[in-house]
Each structure stands twice: as C-alpha cells, then as structure tokens.
Amino acid sequence: MTVAAPAMTSRGPERSRRRIKIPNERLFYAVLGFVGLLVIWELASNFDLDPETPGTQGLVKRILMSAPTLIWNAGIEDFSSGVIWPHIAISLQEWFYGFIISCFLGITLGLSLGWFRRFRLATQPLVSALYSTPTIALFPLIVLIAGIGLESKVILVVLASIFAVIINTMVGVQSVSWKHLEIASSFGASQTQIVRSVVLPTTIPFILTGVRLAAGRSLVGVVVAEFQAANQGVGFYIALNGQTLNTARVFIGLLLLGGFGIFVGELVRLVENRFDAWRPSIHR
Amino acid sequence: MTSAPATQDLALSARGVRMEYLDRGTRERFVAIDSLDLDIKQGEFVTIVGPSGCGKSTFVKLVNGLLSATEGEILVRSVAKGKSDAMVFQDSALFPWYKIIDNVSYGLVCAGVSKKQAHERAMPLIKLVGLGGFENKYPYQLSGGMQQRANLARALCVDPAILLMDEPFAALDAQTREVMQAELLRIWRGAEAEGGARKTVLFITHQIEEAVFLSDRVIVMSARPGRIMEDIRIDLPRPRDLHVKRTPEFQEYQEQIWQLIASQLKAAASQFGGSTE
C-alpha cells in the first residue's frame, strides 16, 4: 500500500463532541438574554451626557426609566419593610377568585353552548355583544351594583376572562368528529361514555387554551380594576408610584405581574403537555 | 317471518328494506335502497359490491343500527355472549387519544367490563392481528395498515356474531391492501380457531378483485336506488392465498361482476347524461 489516501475530514459525532454541552439550552439562553438586557439598561442609565443634572439627560433617563440597581434597592426596601405584601395578597385574591369562577362557569357554559344547538342560537347575540364590549366600559355599572370592594373587582376579572374559556370550549365541542360519535354509538356507548370517551378528549386541548388565555386576561382585569377604584393591590401600587414619579417601584409592580403571568402560563402548559401525549409532537 | 327455510342457521335476514333520505339542500327525497332482501348464513363471508352511491354503506349502517330503515325489517341473530354485531370502519377510525390497547378494548369497556379485564381479553386479539408489542402506542405512531389491523381487532374484541366491514382497506395503498386482504382471511381463520364458531362477515367494497378474493358470496348492487342485481357464489377453494388471483376461474368471476357493474354505470350515464360518479 504505497498510494497515499486522500485527506479526509471527519464528519458526524466526532465534530459535535468538541462543542460545550449546555444542559438546559432553553433556560440558559433565556437567562442570558435577560441578564444582557439588565446590564445594557444599567450601563445606559449611568451614562450621563450632562454631569450637572444626573439622571435627566442620559441615553436612558434614570428619572423616567429607573435602573436595575435602583429597582433592586427599592424592592429590598419594600419587601423587608413589608409594605408590599398586602398589595400582593389582595391582587392574588382578586385574580384567584375571578380566574376560578371564569374557568368553572366558562367551561360549563361553553360545553352547553357547544352541545345544545338551540341554547347556542338563543344566546349567541348576547354572548357576542358582551364579548365585543370593552370590559372596562362596564366597570362604572359594576361599581354601582357591587360597590368598590373585592366583589366588583372579581366581577370585572370574570368578565375580562370568561369569554376566552366559553368560546374556546364551545369551538372544542363543535369540533367533535361525527365519525367518532358514530363509532362510539356503534359499540353501544352510553351518553356518559360518549362524553367521557369522545367529547372530553376532543375538547380538553381547546379548554386548556381557553384557560391559558383566561389566566392572562384575569391579570389584566385585576390591574384595570385596581387602576379605577382601589386603595390596595399591585395595580394600585403601580398607579400610585407612577403618579409620584417613583419609577423604580412602578417597575417592581411590572416585574411582579410579568413574573406571575409567566409562572401561571407555564403551569397551564405543564397540564397541557400531560394531555397531549396522544398527539404527534410538533414543538417539543 | 313467513319464509320456510330453517332460520336458526341464519346470521342475518333482511326483508323488503327501503331507505329514503331527505336532501337538506333541495328538500327532495331520494331513495338510497329499495326492496332489498338478503339472507346470510352463519359463518358466511358475504361481500356487497356496487357502483359509488348505491347504498352499500347505508345498508351496513342499517344492520348496525346506526340508521333505521324507512321500510322493511332486518333481523340479526342475537347471541348469548358478546355483541350481535360490530363494525370495522373506514380509515382513521381509531380514537387518537387512546393507546392501541384502549382502542381495542373500547367495546368491552362500553359493555361494562372492567378496564383490567378488558385489557386482558384484548391482548390475544392484538397478537392475532399482528400488533403484539404495539399495544401501548398511540394511533399516530402506527402506519395506515397497522391502524386498520387495530380497527379490526377492536371489532373482533366484542366477539360479534356478525362482523361488518365498511370499505376497511379503501385508504390503503395497493400493496398494503393486498397484504391486508390475505391477513384478513388468516385472522378470520384464526378467530375461528380461538372462538369456536366461524365468524359471519358482511364486507363492503367497490373493488371487484377484493370481493372475489375474500368472499363465499358476492352481492352485486345496482346504481341508486340500490337493489340486489345478482347473488354470485364464489366456488374457489379455501384457504386462499394471493396466488388464487392469477387463476382463470378467479378472472372469470371478476369479468362476470365487472360486466354487471359496467351495465349499471352505462345506464346511469345515459340517464343523467353526465358523469357516472
């Protein structure tokens, strides 16, 4: 064997071994992006064009946009003194009651609207009208009826979120395949068995989409209601600190809302994944 | 029943069946099936062929009780154990949210058998149709042919006196279809070996070759309104394998049935002056 073999480069597993393996890629890049943003924000807010008037003329005006370190310090202050806890507690309460009522009432109504055609026809105009009315426009009326306490806020939260559940559930029931119903009855399934083996499995992914949307809309409802008439709650905390130019605390409120929104969204996603085992995975 | 022949060995008896539909669009009534008489003996493999829209599928749905006839009566032999009939549907008829084992045992669970017992009774059938090892897969993880095997196992699982098959192989590619035809005959014999009595099968297809290959009798239906034109006994020896399709006797049966259907298509074409579909 005297003929020299042509030089060959190695492909396949050999090459990829050189790369650093990141255990949780999704989390890693999410954190990287977030930290990067904080660093840029902090640097930009400390870059003053005119040293005489700090915080008012920079690339990012500290007085309006605050800075990560300022937010951090204000956060430590409010959490350790405890002034923020009642706001969080009351908002959580409003959100929780509103969201739970929306889910239960919305799923029940959505199932009946999808299943009973005449019921759907009779209530469709009302549902569409309520759905298209901006919820906030109803708030003065709600306050007149239910006062400015917890009740009026829960009602607004329900109105803001229930239609997402109702409409998604209804569409889910309507997308039950005629063929699957036929198969179930050909095997002698009872009404209850048909609901359990055909209607619910088809509808659950739709319901969960509605629930995920409702979780976010409920949060919007909470904030909107607290902007309007409240003396407690995260929405009130944001509004108050905004009016007094205390922007660091406005950001604390925003972070609380954003973090909570992500948390609940991920929670519903976990439930969705559990029910999605039978689907070919597209994005997992 | 007034007819004399011994009714005890009949699995199905249909007399004067007529089925009318109301077209929702045009508000017109049309007759899908007219004065249909049919007797099927126990253990017979009977196939109905006919042009599209001749009411073949409607007839099995009448037998299954999914529809009720406008006139006439259909008697299905009731059995002590199991269901009197079960249907193998056309393509993608499995519940996509159930694993194969839950799909196959569905009929038993509907009949009130506990899930555990139903699974135990489903396993031999899953093995019989050649899906051993796939019982915990979801339908989307199986090929079309394998899904139809599970579909067949689901129907066999309730131990029906009559197995109704509504174009079960229509959506399969030509090669898989041939394999499945041979498999169906094998499973038919296998079920016989296991369950004792031979299963009666009522099979619907528009493929003449499939009908001749599988059946003891081929019923040829006319174009709408569907009537029985001819009842042809297929005297090909069993067990059959795919080689039988190459024999001259097989070709003759095929030719005979094709002539009957072609005459119907021609009649329909001249009647409506257009497409025969």
List of chain A residues whose C-beta atoms are within 8 Å of the C-beta of residue B99: 278
The set of residues, in sequence order, having a beta carbon less than 8 Å from that of B91 and lying 6+ positions away, is B144, B147, B148, B170, B171, B172
CATH number, domain with residue B240: 3.40.50.300
Q: What is the pLDDT of residues A50-81, one digit of tens each?
A: 667 666 666 667 778 888 999 999 999 999 99
At residue A142, the pLDDT reads 93
User: Among all chains, which residue has been given the structure tokens 């006994």?
Assistant: B233
Contact: A187, B158; criterion CB under 8 Å: yes
Domains identified in chain B, total number: 1
Q: Range of B250's domain?
A: 7-77+199-272
**How far, in Å, CA of A96 to CA of B197, rounded?**
61
- Within an 8 Å CB–CB cutoff, is residue B110 touching chain A? yes
Q: Select the residue of B83, B93, B139 nearest A183 (Cβ to Cβ).
A: B93
Percent of chain A with pLDDT over 70: 87
Does residue B36 belong to any structural domain of this protein? Answer: yes
Using alpha carbons, select from A68, A90, A136 the residue that is nearest to residue A235: A90
Closest A-chain CA to B164? A186
Q: What is the pLDDT of residues A113-155, one digit of tens each?
A: 998 889 999 998 998 898 888 988 999 999 999 988 899 999 9
Q: Work out the pLDDT band at A224, boundaries 50, 70, 90.
A: very high
pTM comes to 0.78
A279 at interface of B, judged by CB pairs closer than 8 A: yes
Residue B242 lies in a domain: yes
- Is A193 an 8 Å CB contact of chain B? yes
Signed CA dihedral, B263, B265, B268, B269: sign only: negative
pLDDT single digits (tens) A94-116: 999 999 999 999 999 999 999 88
SS3 B169: coil
| d(CA A111, nearest CA chain B) in Å | 19
Question: How close A25 gets to chain B, by Cα (Å)?
Answer: 28
Q: What is the pLDDT along chain B (277 residues), one digit of tens a residue?
A: 444 445 568 888 888 888 888 877 777 888 888 888 999 998 899 999 988 777 888 899 899 888 888 888 888 877 666 677 888 888 778 999 999 999 999 999 998 899 999 999 999 889 888 898 999 999 999 998 899 999 999 998 888 888 999 999 988 888 889 999 998 998 888 766 665 677 889 999 989 999 999 999 999 998 878 888 889 999 998 888 888 999 999 999 999 999 998 888 777 777 665 444 4
CA distance A279 to chain B (A): 7
Tell me which chain B residues have a C-beta less than 8 angstroms from the C-beta of A178: none
B225/B222 Cα distance (integer angstroms):
7
Tell me which residue has tokens 């198969």.
Answer: A183
Q: What is the pLDDT of residue B251?
A: 93
Q: Is the pLDDT of residue A15 over 60?
A: no
Q: Does A189 touch chain B (CB under 8 A)?
A: yes
Question: Over pLDDT 90: what percentage of chain A?
Answer: 59
Q: What is the 3-state secondary structure (H, E, C) of A123-173?
A: HHHHHHHHHHCCHHHHHHHHHHHHCCCHHHHHHHHHHHHHHHHHHHHHHHH
Find the helix or strand (DSSP H, E) in which B37 lies.
strand B29-41
Q: Which of B189, B117, B205, B115 is nearest to B156 (CA)?
A: B189
> Which residue in A186, A201, A277 is closest to B66 by CB distance?
A186
* Spatial separation of the C-alpha atoms in residues B57 and B221, rounded to whole Å: 12
- Residues of A within 8 A of B66 (CB-CB) are 182, 185-186
User: A186–B111: do the CB atoms touch at under 8 Å?
Assistant: no
Contacts with A243 (C-beta within 8 Å, 6 or more apart), sequence order:
none
Q: Alpha-carbon distance B219 to B213, whole Å?
A: 13
- With beta carbons under 8 A apart, name residues in chain A contacting B158: 187
What pLDDT was estimated at residue B276?
43
Nearest residue of chain A to residue B100 (CA atoms): A278
Q: Residue A22: enclosing H or E segment and its boundaries?
A: none
What band does A218 get if pLDDT is binned at 50, 70 and 90? very high
A106 within 8 A of A159, measured Cβ to Cβ: no
At residue A257, the 3 state secondary structure works out as helix
CB contact, 8 Å: A242 with chain B? no
**Position B48 in a domain:** yes
pLDDT value of position B80: 60
Interacting residues of A29 by C-beta distance below 8 A, sequence separation 6+? none
Q: What are residue B15's DSSP bridge partners?
A: B73
Q: Indicate the class that CATH gives domain A89-233.
A: mainly alpha
Q: What is the pLDDT of residue B3?
A: 44
**A190 touches B: beta carbon within 8 Å:** yes
Tell me how many degrees the CA angle A79-A81-A84 measures, rounded to the nearest 5.
50
> Is B149 within the bounds of a domain?
no
- C-alpha–C-alpha distance, residues A278 and A178, integer Å: 20
Q: How far apart are CA B232 and CA B181, in angstroms?
A: 20
For chain A, the domains span: 89-233
